[in-house]
Copies of this chain bind each other. A is one copy, B any other.
Amino acid sequence: MDSPPPKTVTPAPFMLGACWYPEQWPEESWRRDAGRMRDTGISVVRVGEFAWSRLQPARGELRLHWLQRVLDILHDCGLRAVIGTPTAAPPRWLLDDLPDMCLVDGEGRPAAFGSRRHYCHAHPGYRKACAQIVTHLAKKFGRHPAVIAWQTDNEYGHHGSARSFSAAAAAGFRAFLRDKYRTMESFNRRYGGAFWSLEYNDFSQINPPAFTPAGHHPLLLLDFYRYSSHSIREFNRVQTEIIRRHSPGRAVLHNFAGFLSGFDHFALGEDLDVAAWDSYPGGFLARHGPAGEQLRYLRTGHPDYAAFHHDLFRGCGRGRMWVMEQQPGPVNWAPFNAIPAAGAVRMWTWEAHAHGAEVVSYFRWRQTPTGPEQMHAGLHTPDDKPAPGHAEVAQTAAELQNLPPPAPPFNRAAVALLVDYESIWMADIQPHGDRAAFTAVLDFYRALRRHGVDVDIISPRDDFTGRKLIVAPLWWAPAAEAVGRLQKSACPVLFGPRCGSRTEDFAIPGDLPPGVLRPLLKLSVRRVESLPPHAPLAVTFTAGAKKQSAAAICWREIVRAEGAQAIAKYSDGEGEGALFASENFTYLACRPNDALLDAVLRRLLKQAGICSAPPPPDVRCRRRGGVRWFFNYGSRPARIKVEGEVMIPASAKIRNGNCTLPPAGVLAVLDKAEGA
């Protein structure tokens, strides 16, 4: 406990960082590495993550001194440190002590040692082992002057680890159900257990939902998803409490992974100071992008995927968001791994900044020559030469000096997109056709971004006041309390199909969907259907310009208006409409294609009094404080209308009020008229 007395660390407004693994390199190189980081313009360095076998090489052996030396070196060089707890990579010897500590998948296969994330979050013994190593670290380094933050674990839920079917998880699940339902009678009643004789006599008879001939009861699945989410949060809280106790004044964060929905990120975020995340635009495109867009954005990444997550995690962090890992070159894990366009790493960094990131930290300082990630690029090649990303980081750091101090990141955008993890789980459990729940949410986000408006992503538990437009693509079982707050907010709200279609017990509402939303929407959904993916059903607006290609795809509902006004109709004349409005509330009774979604949002933005300025195709924009940012994800230069002083790039030339934005180019314009 030889660390200096505590010092309150105030996070700098926008800093660049690096993920550094000194334990993988000779100690002689550490000081040189640190110096070069500083010279590159890097301020924040993450260390320690995954280093458990070096901190505790065997039971009872503790080796913290090397990390002490690392932190001292960082401090000497004026760098700030984030310590990652090593609990995502439990060492081999721990399995000898706790042979049943491993995650078990839905097929009953226990995860073997040999990669990472093989632990079960519900295992009491493993939680205890985590508490011990984190206590050692927090006590030893909690007040070290270099340390400004702690990262718990790494990417919860990644590699399918959100849901464990182990004996420990089964025990936890039963306790969770007992706690929730109290009596078997209550459980059986709320489940509708008379169906298929699915009644239980005792909570001890209930197991996590494993292989059955026909489908599981949807509420059992939902409760198991709820329990798993709850268990991860509990697992995380073990660490946050220890860190808070021993490391006052430091931020506690977790680095979430993208494109995951196995647990409630908002809920876990409540226990953090900052929601960090790991941004891999190129890998995400290759893994999740539609075929057509994979070639279009091959070297710039998808224009909306990272942005969505920036906004999502800024929401989870209640305004505070970091990019803990930023892709610096090709990754190793996607179906194909292209070299980013020149400038893309810089563009991704500024896009993160525009969305409120306090830190963008590159993964990793130097590519490692061994192990599973040896094909993952770093800011340096394995021979310690600068990789192309390095120069872009240095350029970004230089440009950073010319910017005014950024406005507070969470600027309460006029438009809020509501993301409800329980609804994603419900839609995953009951797709009833071809519809990925996560994609449905993303579709609405992408359409808003095409309109050029800034978006905050909020949870159903967030405050709704002060918004000009709320968009809820997927909100199956709104709580009555949340509906009340929504009504009070008095702003226009757009609901997607199936909103209100279930109770919290995954039952169809007694008076049919939209259940609790019926008094607001003034309609009832009489029937629903899912359609083959390639059978779009044309939708026409009853007034206004005709949109030729607007259509419902995959899903549509037959609605009876009970006061609501039909704004658009299905071309086959079924039902009373495809889009309904009742005062502030609009309901979309089908899954929209992009053309229909654009038309609906145009209408809603107008109704909300939000002046949208759609950027050119492939260009995206975002305002932070008084600065308006433009990013070109396309492969051709784009022309941007500029009204104000150009901050970045310094070399920008304005002709006739226009500025040319090259591929992977960034433009920052001081736009005092708008303000924060």
Q: Are the C-beta atoms of B381 and A195 separated by less than 8 Å?
A: no
Contact of A433 (CB < 8 Å), options: B200, B335, B377: B335
| Most chain B CB atoms below 10 A, which of A21, A329, A433 | A433
- Across the interface, name the chain B residue whose C-beta is closest to A295: B535
Contact residue among B54, B161, B339 (Cβ-Cβ distance under 8 Å from A527): B339
**Quick check: B115 and A212 within 8 Å, CB to CB?**
yes
Most chain B C-beta atoms within 10 Å of own C-beta, residue among A58, A367, A382, A534: A382
CB-based contact B371/A212 at 8 Å: no
Segment at the interface with B among A175-183, A216-224, A416-424, A541-549: A216-224
A432 touches B337 (CB 8 A): yes
Query: Of A91-99, A406-414, A485-493, which binds chain B?
Result: A91-99
Q: Which residue of B lies closest to A332 (CB)?
A: B432
A201 at the interface (CB under 8 A from B): yes
A659 beta carbon closer than 8 Å to chain B: no
Check B216 against A54 for contact (C-beta < 8 Å).
no
**Is A507's CB within 8 Å of the partner chain B?**
yes
CA distance A21 to B338 in the complex (A): 55
A86 to B512, CA, bound (A): 30
Q: Mark A158-201, 1 if CB is under 8 A from B, else 0.
A: 11110000000000000000000000000000011111111111
Pick the residue among B114, B214, B574 that contacts A216 (CB under 8 A): B114
- Pick the contact of A212 from B112, B213, B335, B506 — CB < 8 Å? B112
- Chain B CB within 8 A of A603 CB: no
Check A215 for interface membership: any CB of B closer than 8 A: yes
Chain B residues, Cβ within 8 Å of A116:
196, 213-214
Bound-state CA distance A381–B336 (Å) is 48
The reply to whether the CB of A505 lies closer than 8 angstroms to some CB of chain B is yes
Does residue A583 face the partner (Cβ distance < 8 Å to B)? no
Stretch from A29-37, A45-53, A304-312, A466-474 forming part of the interface with B: A45-53
- A384-414 CB contacts (< 8 Å) to partner B: 385, 387-388
* Nearest CB of B to A353, in Å: 26
Among A352-397, those with CB < 8 Å from B are 367-375, 377, 381-383, 385, 387-388
Interface centre among A92, A105, A367 (most CB of B within 10 A): A92
List which A4-36 residues lie within 8 A (CB) of chain B.
21, 23-24
A370 partner residues in chain B, CB cutoff 8 A: 191-192, 195, 219, 505-508
A199 and B115 within 8 A (CB): no
Interface residues of A in 76-116 (CB under 8 A from B): 86, 89-93, 95-96, 103, 105, 107-109, 111-116
Residue of B nearest to A204 (CB): B96
**Contact with A114, one of B217, B286, B385, B432 (Cβ below 8 angstroms):** B217
A584 interfacial contact with B, CB 8 Å: no
1/0 per residue A282-295: CB within 8 Å of B? Answer: 00001000000011
Q: A558 interface residue, CB < 8 Å from B?
A: yes
Is A383 touching B511 in the complex (CB atoms < 8 A)? yes
Interface of A is mostly: loop
How many chain A residues sit at the interface, stated as a range, is 35 or more
Distance, CA A534 to CA B295, complexed state (A): 9
A532 at interface, CB cutoff 8 A: yes
Instruction: Please tell me if A643 contacts chain B, counting CB pairs below 8 Å.
Output: no
Q: Which residues of B sit under 8 angstroms from A52, Cβ to Cβ?
A: 197
Residues of chain B within 8 A (CB-CB) of A115 are 196, 212-217
Shortest distance from the beta carbon of A55 to any chain B beta carbon, whole Å:
9
Q: Which of chain B's residues have a CB closer than 8 A to the CB of A195?
A: 21, 24, 50, 368, 370-373
Chain B contacts for A529, CB-based, 8 A: 330, 337-339
From A115, A526, A535, name the one whose CB has the most chain B CB atoms within 10 angstroms.
Answer: A115
Complex: A12 Cα to B510 Cα, angstroms: 37
- Write out the residue numbers on chain B whose beta carbons fall within 8 Å of the beta carbon of A558: 339
Give the distance in Å from the alpha carbon of A286 to the alpha carbon of B554 in the complex.
Answer: 13
Chain B residue at minimal CB-CB distance from A110: B211
Say if the beta carbon of A39 comes within 8 Å of chain B. no
Which of B53, B112, B205, B535 meets A198, CB within 8 Å? B53
The chain B residue with its CB closest to the CB of A201 is: B93
Pick the contact of A217: B96, B371, B533 (CB < 8 A). Answer: B371
Whether A216 lies near B383 (C-beta < 8 A) is no
Q: Is the CB of B198 within 8 A of A114?
A: yes
Cβ of A434 under 8 Å from chain B: yes
A109 neighbours in B (Cβ, 8 Å): 107-108, 211
Q: Tell whether, in the assembled complex, residue B388 and residue A527 are in contact, meaning their CB atoms are under 8 Å apart.
A: yes
The residues of B that contact A217 with a CB separation of less than 8 Å are 114-115, 371-372
* A335-B434 CB under 8 A given contacts A112-B207, A114-B212, A295-B532: yes
Q: Which residues of B contact A432 (CB under 8 A)?
A: 332, 337, 375
A114–B53 contact, CB under 8 A? Answer: no
Residues of B within 8 A of A114 (CB): 198, 207, 209-210, 212, 216-217, 220
Considering only CB atoms, which chain B residue lies closest to A388 in the complex? B527
Q: How many angstroms between the C-alpha atoms of A506 and B369 in the bound complex? A: 9
Q: Which residues of B contact A161 (CB under 8 A)?
A: 213
A135 within 8 A of B: no
CB distance from A287 to the nearest CB of B (A): 12
Is B213's CB under 8 angstroms from A371's CB?
A: no
Chain B residues in 8 Å Cβ range of A86:
197
A465 contacts B by Cβ under 8 Å = no
Q: Is A531 an interface residue (CB 8 A)?
A: yes
Partner of A160, one of B117, B213, B507: B213
Seed contacts A217-B372, A387-B527; 16 additional CB < 8 Å A-B pairs:
A24-B195, A54-B199, A92-B200, A111-B211, A113-B212, A115-B215, A117-B213, A192-B368, A195-B370, A336-B433, A336-B532, A336-B554, A337-B432, A369-B508, A381-B526, A383-B512
Q: Which 4 A-B pairs have the closest CB atoms?
A: A192-B370, A195-B371, A159-B213, A53-B197
The 14 listed contacts between A and B (C-beta, < 8 Å) are: A92-B201, A95-B205, A112-B210, A114-B217, A191-B371, A195-B368, A295-B532, A335-B434, A338-B529, A369-B509, A370-B508, A375-B432, A382-B512, A385-B526
